[in-house]
């Protein structure tokens, strides 16, 4: 059920994008289950995960869509970008080709989300320092030039995984607070859920979904 | 969720089904005791062996046995039966080409196979698993090199690995070579347009059987992507128990290429109570649908999916859903496959003509008429699909009998 045993004030929609094999599903699994999935299979189409976090005393439910990396699936995963408040764009620091493709992923993210969508660049597999193929400085410069938040992380050790998901939420929340993200705008990717009896919530659901939730 | 009560109902249903099977089989309406599906495993195994051994192989009977309760029962029987069902000539398997590493998809296949560990038995020695993984790469690339028009997709290897584990490298290649040309052809286009076309059958099937559920799903905006991995991997990617997977493969190899989407519809229908209980909201509905329970009653689902196919054949849905029936290469090629192999499991089904206003409702199959089958193989084919499939199918058989 939407609320479950918890109460939360907001729902933020995230997408995770990037080349196949960079560790998108492993990052999601590490974030939602706090475990590393060693034999993580490929994702077909999209998969979905959720977790409730807290930012500035507000409970926020993250709805995270993990997309398939293979090029041919982009035709179906693109429809999930719409209405995302946050986009985690992932590459593998040990495979330069996954870094070289970032501009294509970024173009999709920019074209298919709204101007306020927070885009967070994650260089995954930073535990594999010996096999590094992309320097931190180079990626940091790319992130700065394109106005992206950036961290190197490891789904295996858990390093910086929480930070990436939470920093994205903090930035979205800050955008709400300073008024740059209009909750009433179509496809803001954020739903405000005032704590209320269930019946009221249900009647509020319909119009909000049409605007806020993708597809 | 009241799974236990559902199970109870199903057990009851299965009992009824086997009773019906028994009585129909022994009624002698077809004048041949061979048509009876043995209800015990020992006799069924014998019947499967006989169908394989007969010259030419009794494909119609083999299909009937593959569909009916328990499918082909054991992997040693599958090793012999699956190639026959796909019309594979086991003595003329093309050799391995030398240049597989040069193929455009080689690197991706290797990456996908490297992380397919989950698909191998947990107690398998690493050395053996690595050898099988090498063979898996070879199988996939042998098919791709032979058919430059086919494009690899992630999930294709989930089907290949199932065949590899059951029939071994060479036969797995030969079966995949055939399947890729026919059943999987639409998935192997450069784009996913035709895959989406196949997914487009899902809601019309669900809607025919349960209009309220279809309305709910469409209102939630959930789409059909939750079933994508079911469809293009023949459930290999989403089921954990290999025994369930091979049982479904018995069924799919014996049926029309669209049967996996009918099974998807049946799974959604089976779970209707769970689905209708969640908020009519895209994420929650997707979440519920995309997670398959471990304890799905597969025999029941197989039987009901067959019923759905008979009640709402693709031609009926294509028209209703304004889909271009013939735009699917898989479906049109399947007719060639049937012609080439003289296997006609559902020609009769596709030829059905509706009488009256043409709006056959659930359980209203008696309004459906069939053209007179022209030969004995066809007569058996009706049986192959219908004898095992429950009430709706039996109604069809009764109609057919009037024509014989």
Give me the mean pLDDT over the A97-107 stretch.
97
CB contact under 8 A, B225 and A68: no
What is the model's pLDDT at position B350?
Answer: 38
A39 touches chain B (CB under 8 A): yes
User: CB count, 10 Å around CB of B273?
Assistant: 13
CB contact under 8 A, B116 and A41: yes
Higher pLDDT, A30 or B381: A30
Least confident of A62-71, B11-20, B108-117, B197-206: B11-20
A63 vs B116, B151, B283: nearest CB: B283
Confidence at B340, pLDDT banded by 50, 70, 90:
low
Give me the mean pLDDT over the B362-367 stretch.
34
Interface test with A, best of B140, B225, B275 (most A CBs within 10 A): B225
Say how far apart CA B273 and CA A204 lie, in whole Å: 24
Give me the mean pLDDT over the B154-177 stretch.
97
The answer to whether residue B58 scores a pLDDT higher than 70 is: yes
What is the model's pLDDT at position B264?
Answer: 98
B228 touches chain A (CB under 8 A): yes
Rounded to the nearest 10°, the torsion over CA A99, A104, A107, A109 is -70
Beta bridge mates, A13: A63
Confidence at B339, pLDDT banded by 50, 70, 90:
low
The answer to whether residue B270 scores a pLDDT higher than 90 is: yes
**Listed ranges A153-167, A186-200, B305-319; the one with the highest mean pLDDT:** A153-167
Interface test with B, best of A13, A44, A83 (most B CBs within 10 A): A44
A2 vs B112, B115, B284: nearest CB: B284
Q: In whole angstroms, how far apart are CA B199 and each of A133, B125, B228?
A: 40, 38, 7
B153 vs A41, A47, A72: nearest CB: A72
A213 vs B117, B282, B290: nearest CB: B282
A39 vs B108, B118, B225: nearest CB: B118
Residue of A nearest to B219 (CA): A206
What angle separates helix B126-146 from helix B156-167, to the nearest 10 degrees? 120
Q: What is the mean pLDDT of chain B?
A: 79
What is the model's pLDDT at position B11?
Answer: 39
* ipTM of predicted complex: 0.85
Residue B124, helix vs strand vs coil: coil
Buried b (16+ CB within 10 A) or exposed e, B309-335: bbbbbbebbbeebebeeeebbbbebbe
The answer to whether residue B265 scores a pLDDT higher than 60 is: yes
- What's the CATH fold of domain B105-184? Helicase, Ruva Protein; domain 3 (1.10.8)
Residue of B nearest to A13 (CA): B283
What is the model's pLDDT at position A39?
Answer: 83
Give me the mean pLDDT over the B135-161 stretch.
97
User: CB count, 10 Å around CB of B15?
Assistant: 10
B1 touches chain A (CB under 8 A): no
Q: In whole angstroms, how far apart are CA B329 and each of A68, B181, B198, B344?
A: 25, 9, 11, 18
What is the model's pLDDT at position B294?
Answer: 84
Q: Where are the domains of chain B?
A: 41-85, 105-184, 192-327
What is the model's pLDDT at position B105?
Answer: 93
The answer to whether residue B159 scores a pLDDT higher than 90 is: yes
A89 touches chain B (CB under 8 A): no
Least confident of A127-131, B239-243, B387-391: B387-391
Q: List, in order, residues 6 or more apart from B79 with CB less than 8 Å away.
A: B166, B167, B168, B171
Question: Which class is domain B192-327?
Answer: mainly alpha
Interface test with A, best of B133, B155, B189 (most A CBs within 10 A): B155
CB contact under 8 A, B118 and A41: yes
The answer to whether residue B22 scores a pLDDT higher than 80 is: no
B117 touches chain A (CB under 8 A): yes
CB contact under 8 A, B283 and A40: no
What is the model's pLDDT at position B174?
Answer: 97
Pairing verdict, β A190-192 and A10-17: antiparallel
Q: How far is B229 from chain A (nearest CA, A)?
A: 6
Give me the mean pLDDT over the B223-229 stretch.
96
Tell which residue, A69, A119, A120, A72, has the closest CA to residue A97. Answer: A69
Tell which residue, B254, B235, B246, has the closest CA to residue B37. Answer: B254
Domains and CATH numbers, chain A: 10-201 (3.40.50.300)
pLDDT tens string B305-326? 999 999 999 988 876 655 544 4
CB contact under 8 A, B191 and A72: yes
Question: H helices within B200-297, ranges in order?
Answer: 202-209, 211-220, 228-232, 242-253, 259-270, 272-277, 282-290
The answer to whether residue B243 scores a pLDDT higher than 50 is: yes
Give me the mean pLDDT over the B134-142 stretch.
97
What is the model's pLDDT at position B331?
Answer: 66
- Put simply, whether the predicted model's pTM sits higher than 0.90 gets the answer no
Give me the mean pLDDT over the B19-47 stretch.
60
């Amino acid at each position: 059920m939407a609320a479950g045993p918890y109460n939360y004030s907001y729902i933020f929609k995230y997408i995770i994008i990037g080349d196949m094999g960079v560790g998108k599903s492993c990052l999601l699994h590490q974030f939602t289950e706090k475990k590393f999935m060693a034999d993580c299979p490929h994702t077909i189409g999209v998969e979905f995960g959720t977790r409730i976090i807290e930012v500035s005393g507000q409970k926020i439910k993250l709805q995270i869509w993990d997309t398939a990396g293979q090029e041919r699936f982009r035709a179906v995963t693109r429809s999930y970008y719409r209405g995302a408040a946050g986009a985690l764009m992932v590459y593998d620091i040990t495979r330069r080709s996954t870094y070289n493709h970032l501009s294509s992923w970024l173009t999709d993210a920019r074209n298919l989300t709204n101007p306020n969508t927070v885009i967070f660049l994650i260089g995954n597999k930073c535990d594999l320092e010996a096999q590094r193929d992309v320097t931190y400085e180079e990626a940091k410069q790319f992130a700065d030039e394109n106005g992206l938040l950036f961290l190197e992380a490891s789904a295996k050790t858990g390093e910086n995984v929480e930070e990436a998901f939470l920093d994205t939420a903090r930035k979205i929340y800050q955008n709400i607070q300073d008024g740059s993200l209009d909750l009433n705008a179509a496809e803001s990717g954020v739903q405000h859920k005032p704590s209320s009896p269930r019946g009221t919530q249900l009647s509020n659901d319909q119009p909000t979904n049409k605007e806020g939730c993708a597809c | 969720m009241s799974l236990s009560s559902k199970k109870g109902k199903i057990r009851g249903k299965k009992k009824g089904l086997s009773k019906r099977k028994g009585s129909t089989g022994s009624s002698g309406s077809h004048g041949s005791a061979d048509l009876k599906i043995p209800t015990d495993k020992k006799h069924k195994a014998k019947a499967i062996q006989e169908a394989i051994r007969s010259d030419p192989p009794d494909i119609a009977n083999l299909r009937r046995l593959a569909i009916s309760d328990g499918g082909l029962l054991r992997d040693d029987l599958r090793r012999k039966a699956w190639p026959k069902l796909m019309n594979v000539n086991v003595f003329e398997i093309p050799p391995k080409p030398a240049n597989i590493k040069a193929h455009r998809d080689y690197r991706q296949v290797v990456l996908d196979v490297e992380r397919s560990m989950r698909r191998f038995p947990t107690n398998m020695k690493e050395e053996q698993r690595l050898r099988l993984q090498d063979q898996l790469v070879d199988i996939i690339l042998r098919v791709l090199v032979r058919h430059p028009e086919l494009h690899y997709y992630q999930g294709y290897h989930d089907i290949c690995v199932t065949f590899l584990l059951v029939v071994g490298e060479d036969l797995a290649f030969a079966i995949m070579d055939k399947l890729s040309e026919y059943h999987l052809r639409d998935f192997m286009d450069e784009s996913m347009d035709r895959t989406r076309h196949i997914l487009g059958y899902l809601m019309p099937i669900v809607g025919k059987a349960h209009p309220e559920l279809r309305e709910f799903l469409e209102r939630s905006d959930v789409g059909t992507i939750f079933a994508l991995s079911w469809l293009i991997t023949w459930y290999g990617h989403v089921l954990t128990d290999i025994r369930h997977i091979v049982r479904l493969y018995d069924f799919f190899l014996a049926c029309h290429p669209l049967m996996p989407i009918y099974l998807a519809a049946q799974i959604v229908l089976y779970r209707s109570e769970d689905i209708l209980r969640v908020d009519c909201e895209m994420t929650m509905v997707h979440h519920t649908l995309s997670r398959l329970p471990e304890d799905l009653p597969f025999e029941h689902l197989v039987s009901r999916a067959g019923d759905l196919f008979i009640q709402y054949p693709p031609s009926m849905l294509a028209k209703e859903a304004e889909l271009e029936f013939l735009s699917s290469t898989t479906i049109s090629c399947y007719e060639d496959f049937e012609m080439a192999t003289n296997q006609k499991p559902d020609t009769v089904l596709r030829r059905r003509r509706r009488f009256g206003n043409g709006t056959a409702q659930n359980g209203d199959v008696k309004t459906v008429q069939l053209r007179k089958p022209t030969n004995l193989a066809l007569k058996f084919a009706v049986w192959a699909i219908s004898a095992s499939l429950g009430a709706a199918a039996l109604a069809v058989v009764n109609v057919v009998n009037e024509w014989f």
